[in-house]
Structure 1
Amino acid sequence: MACVDLFCGAGGLTHGFILEGLPVVAGIDLDPACRFPYEENNGQAKFVERDISKITIDELEALFDDAELRILAGCAPCQPFSTYAQRYELDGKDGKWGLLYQFARLAKGSMPDVITMENVPTVAKHEVFRDFVDTLERLGYEVWYDVVDSSRYGVPQMRRRMVLLASKYGSIEMIPPTHAKPKTVRQAIRRLRPLSAGESAPRDKLHVASTLSEKNLERIRVSKPGGTWRDWPKNLVADCHRADSGRTYPGVYGRMEWDKPAPTMTTQCYGFGNGRFGHPEQDRAISLREAAILQSFPRDYAFIPKDGEVSFKVLGRLIGNAVPVDLGRAIARSINQHLASVAYR
């Protein structure tokens, strides 16, 4: 058995697969920053730094080598399918929107036994997704897809995602939720060392909080867990929020709540002003390590070498774009249960 992970990023999906016993032989991504965390944390899995559109069928076949059972997985970059992006990009066949067509091209050329894809829920509204499903069905795959709540699979975060599963061997679907109650922020990060804004933990370079201006320090000090900037004194409310156009954005400049799941981690989850990313009680935004843990990465998952430089922008991108590890585990478990129930040889 062998799996290839397209658009692998820092390895969230791959790591989940490996933890569930699905061997991943390679991950492909265009971002060179993914190489270290992908290879450092995922055993023998090889990182291939390539544009997916340039990967040939022969190259993909070579990665699968002589595996008797092949799994093709991937999460095409989701920003083109987000609600925000829809206001600016309308043509689903060009640019990043077209990456799902490249996924379909590789699936058609290699005909793996099982295919899985993860993305934002709104991808289902677009022609490119319908074309992807139609392609798989015409090739003879049984296709299942639905929006799942990651918090019901052990991810301490409210993250709704579209998951697709397809098989040559009959009906396949996501396993039922594994958690009756979501994991909370408290359960995930309460044991980490306290920090001040701008401080870094001495033994973990990733446990570092971004700096805050004096104004934002004043703002977070008066912010309530689960509250909004509407709770602040008027002198602290930003001009953009005073305007009519800004009154509908209460989710920025907010603190998380200890006993609820975190909000969806984004590529800018390290910034207090970028969403509800304030620590529940410390006067700072969450650290990069806390964001990674809320994405269900293990506490010791290495994102940079010991002598590497911490870049909030780069690491925020790797963490925010990742498939949560525990969602990857649930997808892998779904594939394992399906394969155990069918005569695929």
Structure 2
Amino acid sequence: MRDAGFNIIAAVEYNPQIAKTYMHNHPETKMFVDDIRNITTDEIEKIFMSQKVQCDIIFGGPPCQGFSMAGKRIRAKKSFLKDERNYLFKEYIRMVEKLRPKIFIIENVPGILNYNNGEVKQEIFETFRDLGYVLDAQLLCAADYGVPQLRKRAIFIGNRIGINPKILFPMKTNSLNNYVTVRDAISDLPPLDSGTGQVQTNYIKNFILTSYQQRMVSKSGIVFNHLSSKHKPETLKLLSMIKQGETMKDLPEKLRTKSVHSGAYGRMVYDEPAYTLTTRLNTPSVGRITHPVQDRTITPREAARIQSFPDDYLFIGDITSIGMQIGNAVPPLLAEKIGRNILNIL
């Protein structure tokens, strides 16, 4: 959203390690490293007043833990917002109610639009309407907005300034015939063997960059977080036998391992967008995260490229934390296009 032209005044992050990454890359923003339930809107309003600005927009992705047991909740006929596990969503509503932004944006899992025959979505709509907002919700695919990933997310956009909420959603810029591919995204990054790489490394010299890569590369000539996880010999042997687009299911039956993930040990296809990335970037058994032509899982930097983070965005922490930071993020390029469209209308 910063790249769209917004001045990000304040942010909230409970996890100190994740907050450290955000503060490093967004030094201009006041970060509250705390449980949002401990943060008063008065504290945030004081920051706005000190900078002589007003709160125009609130955006976030409040998790809905109650959905992990959605079936039980539905059988019990329990209200979505009365489910104590969804307290973060209620805290988001509190911030909107007290700070009264002109516009708010919520990102969430696609299923929120259809849970309990759409009753959850309706409850969210009614809650914000009672606060004086009109809103709409749409399912957006990141690949339709120039991100090399078939990542689908539910986006809610509401406003209290009389704008038809449907026009606040950006028009698609890409389609099946011109999607940005994995090759477009990562082919210029230095090749690595399993267990090699550095926190900082240089680009390949004289490489002809795609337009997407030109957008991603850092002006300093330094690439951060391009390190490959070390895999066991038996894992590397399995990876070497799997071709682009194939998964564990394509191996001889005697070589298949037990995994609940349908895309386990899946190798990415170079000339297609990636499937949705998750938080576990270095575990082949969790999905299609094997490099298209190198026998290893993708590095954090390759994952960041596929999520549309620029190369000068440094991720701080261990691989577990960095995986969460990248895998749980809204692709910055998608966020930028949402933000630019809103600013153009305002």
* TM-score band, normalised by shorter chain: 0.7 to 0.9
Q: CA deviation at 1:28?
A: 0.6
Aligned 8 A contact 1:215 1:236 in 2: no
Q: Of residues 141, 144, 160 in structure 1, which corresponds to 2:136?
A: 144
2:269 is aligned to 257
Q: TM-score, normalised by structure 2?
A: 0.83
Matched, 1:317 2:324: yes
Moved more, 47-56 or 86-95: 86-95
Structure 1: how far apart are the matches of 2:111 and 2:27?
34
- Structure 1: which 5+ runs fail to align? 1-16, 305-309, 340-345
2:123 is aligned to 131
Q: Amino acid of the residue matched to residue 171 of structure 1?
A: N
Deviations 1:84-108 (A, max 9, x none): 6646876644454221111111111
SS at match of 1:24: coil
1:60 is aligned to 44
Change (3 A) 1:293 1:237: same
Structure 2: how far apart are the matches of 1:77 and 1:146?
18
- Structure 2: which 5+ runs fail to align? 202-223
Q: TM-score, normalised by structure 1?
A: 0.83
SS at match of 1:20: coil
Structure 1: how far apart are the matches of 2:200 and 2:55?
42
Q: CA deviation at 1:281?
A: 0.6
Q: Amino acid of the residue matched to residue 324 of structure 1?
A: P
Aligned-residue Cα RMSD (Å) equals 2.1
Q: CA deviation at 1:338?
A: 2.5
Aligned length: 309
Q: Amino acid of the residue matched to residue 13 of structure 2?
A: D
Structure 1: how far apart are the matches of 2:319 and 2:139?
30
Q: Of residues 161, 164, 171 in structure 1, which corresponds to 2:164?
A: 171
Matched, 1:334 2:341: yes
Identity %, equivalent residues: 34
Structure 2: how far apart are the matches of 1:19 and 1:296?
12
Matched, 1:286 2:298: yes
Change (3 A) 1:95 1:192: farther
2:206 is aligned to none
2:30 is aligned to 46
2:234 is aligned to 215
Q: Amino acid of the residue matched to residue 300 of structure 1?
A: D
Aligned 8 A contact 1:70 1:113 in 2: yes
Change (3 A) 1:69 1:102: closer
Q: Amino acid of the residue matched to residue 57 of structure 2?
A: I
Change (3 A) 1:96 1:299: farther
Change (3 A) 1:193 1:86: farther
Q: CA deviation at 1:128?
A: 5.3
